[in-house]
Amino acid sequence: MEDFLFAFLNWDIVTQAWPILWRGFAYTLALSAMTVPLGLAGGVALALLATSGPWWVRLLAAGWTDFFRAIPPLVLLVFLYAGLPFAGIDVGAWGAVALGFLLNTGSYYGEVLRAGIESVPRGQMEAARSTGLTRGQALAHVVLPQAVRNVLPDLVSNTLEVVKLTSIASVVALPELLFQARQAQNATYNATPIVAAAIAYFLLLWPLVRLVSRLENRAMAGR
Amino acid sequence: MTSTAPIIDARGVWKRFGGLAVLKGVDLSVAERELVFVIGPSGSGKSTFLRCLNRLEEPDDGSIQVDGIELLSPKTDINAARRRIGMVFQSFNLYPHMTARQNVMLALRKVLGQNKDQAATVAARALDRVGLAERMDHYPAQLSGGQQQRVAIARAIALEPRVMLFDEPTSALDPELVGGVLNVMRELRQDGMTMVVVSHEMAFAKAAADRVVFMADGQKLEEGPPAQIFEAPQHERTRAFIRQIDRH
C-alpha cells in the first residue's frame, strides 16, 4: 500500500511537478477554447450545406464529412504539420491544430447537426417562409434552435471527445497537459503526474458529463 | 362579385412532380373581400394549388398575380410578396420553442423591422383578436390544437396581409375544437379579409363562402355559389364527391 501511494499519489511529486502540469493544463484549456468553436463553426457550415444546398453540394458535403471522419486525426495532424511544408505551405503548430480540428471535429459536429436539422419538420421552414422570412432568417431563428435542442446531448458528448482529443497536439510540439505529465513522469520516475493530469481532465469535463445526463433525463421526461 | 380587378389572378398554373402532372392549367381569380372555398378529393391538387399562390410550391408554368405583384417573375422579391399573403397550415406549424406571443412577433421583427416593444404590442393585439390574450405566454405544447391554430392565424394576420390562404385549417382538430377556429375565420371574413380556403367544412362553406371551386385530377371542374355546387352540381364528379362527404 505504501508503495502504491508512493508511486501513484505522491504529494511531494505533485508539488514538484505542479508548475509543469499547470502550464500543460493552460495549453489544454487554450487548445479546447480554439478547437471547440472552430469545430462547431465548421459543423454548422457542413450541416447547412448537407441539408439545404443543391444536390451536388449536398453530395460533396456528405463525401467531405465521410472522408474526414474516416481519417485518423493524428495522421491528419501530422500531415498538416509535417507534410504541407513540402508543398510550400507552412501553417505552424497552432495552424495545423486549428485546421486539423476544423476538418476532423467539424465533420463530427456536422454529422450530429445534420441529424438535428433533419429532425425538424419541413412545416417549420414553410411556416417561417410563408411570413416573409428569408431562408437564412428561417434557419437561424426557427430551424437551428430546434435542431440544436434535439441533438444537444450528442453535441455535448462530442465536445467531451474533442477536449480529450486535444492531447494529440503534443505531436506537433504543443506541450499540453498529458504531454507535460509524461515529461514529469519521466523526470521523477513516478506515475503521480499522470494521475494528477487525469484528475485535472476529470475536473474539467465532469460538469459537462453531468450536463449530458441531465439533458438526457429531461429529453426522456419530455417524451 | 365586384367589377374591380381581382386581387388574386392565377392563370394556367401547371405543376409536375417528377413525371406526374398534379396541376394541369388551373385558373382562379378572386375578388377583394371574397371568400373562395376549394374542395375536391384527395390528390385533386387543391393543396398544391393553394401552395402555389404564395410560391411555397414553384409552378412549372402559368402566371399568378397577387395584389398586383407578378408572383412568378424572377424580378419579384418573394419575401416582400409573402408579407401580403398570410397562410395557415393543416398542422399549425407553430414554432415549439417560442411562446404564442413570440411566434407572432418573429416576422413582425425580422420582416417588418419593428422593435421589440412595437412587435409585442402588435402581437398582443393579434392574439386578442383570436381570443387568446390570456394564453399569450404559453408555449404551443401547453395549448390545445384549436388554440394552436388560432395562434397560427394570429401569426399570419399580425402582418396585415391582403389575402389569407387556409390549407385544411380544421382537418387536424378534434371535432369539439373546430368551432373556435371557424369562428375566428368568420370574424376575419366580416372584417373584409380576402380568403381562399381548402377545406371540407361544408356547413361553414354553405354559410360563409361566396364561391365554391371543385377540383379533381389537377383541374378545376366546376365553380359557383355554394348553393349551386352543393345542391345542384353540374358535373358528375362533383355530384359523386358531394354525396360522399354529405354522408359524414
- Residue for grid cell 408554368: B61
Q: Kindly determine whether residue A146 and residue B91, on different chains, have CB atoms separated by under 8 Å.
A: no
Which residues in chain B are closer than 8 Å to A134, comparing Cβ atoms? 79
Q: Measure in Å the smallest separation between the Cα of A127 and chain B Cα atoms.
A: 6
In DSSP terms, B61 is beta-bridged to: B14
Q: Give the tens place of pLDDT for each residue, B2-33.
A: 457 899 999 999 999 988 999 999 999 999 99
CA B81/CA A132 separation, integer angstroms: 7
A chain contacts of residue B160, beta-carbon cutoff 8 Å: none
Q: What is the pLDDT of residues B121-157, one digit of tens each?
A: 999 999 999 999 999 999 999 999 999 999 999 999 9
Of B91, B96, B159, the CB nearest to A131: B159
Mean pLDDT of A120-137: 96
Q: What is the mean pLDDT of residues B98-117?
A: 96
Q: B106 in contact with A at a CB cutoff of 8 Å?
A: yes
pLDDT in tens, A15-64: 887 888 888 888 889 889 999 999 999 999 999 999 988 899 999 999 99
Q: b or e along A147-170 (b: 16 or more beta carbons within 10 Å of the residue's beta carbon)?
A: bbbbbbbbbbbbbbebbebbbbbb
Residues of A in contact with B155 (CB under 8 A): 127, 131
Does residue A66 or residue A4 have the better pLDDT?
Answer: A66
Q: Which of B56, B96, B111 sits opposite A133 (nearest CB)?
A: B111
Residues sharing a CB contact under 8 Å with residue B176, sequence separation 6 or more, in sequence order = none
User: Could you tell me which of A150, A178, A190 has the C-alpha nearest to residue A15?
Assistant: A190
Inter-chain touch B82–A141, beta carbons under 8 Å = no
Whether ipTM tops 0.90, in short, is: yes
A2-222: CATH number: 1.10.3720.10
Going from N- to C-terminal start, the domains of chain A cover 2-222
Concatenating the DSSP letter of every residue in chain B gives --SSPPSEEEEEEEEEETTEEEEEEEEEEE-TT-EEEEE--TTSSHHHHHHHTTTSS--SEEEEEETTEETT-TTS-HHHHHTTEEEE-TT----TTS-HHHHHHHHHHHTS---HHHHHHHHHHHHHHTT-GGGTT--GGGS-HHHHHHHHHHHHHTT--SEEEEESTTTTS-HHHHHHHHHHHHHHHHTT-EEEEE---HHHHHHH-SEEEEEETTEEEEEE-HHHHHHS-SSHHHHHHHHHHHT-
Q: Min CA distance, A209 vs chain B (Å)?
A: 25
Question: Considering only CA atoms, which of B90, B108, B95, B94 is closest in space to residue B51?
Answer: B90
Model pLDDT, residue B1: 47
| A137 to B152: CB separation less than 8 angstroms, yes or no | no
Task: Closest CB to B97: pick one of A131, A134, A149.
Answer: A149
Contact B97 A146 (CB under 8 A): yes
Instruction: Answer yes or no: do B86 and A130 touch at CB < 8 A.
Output: yes
CA atoms within 13 A on the CB side of B220: 20
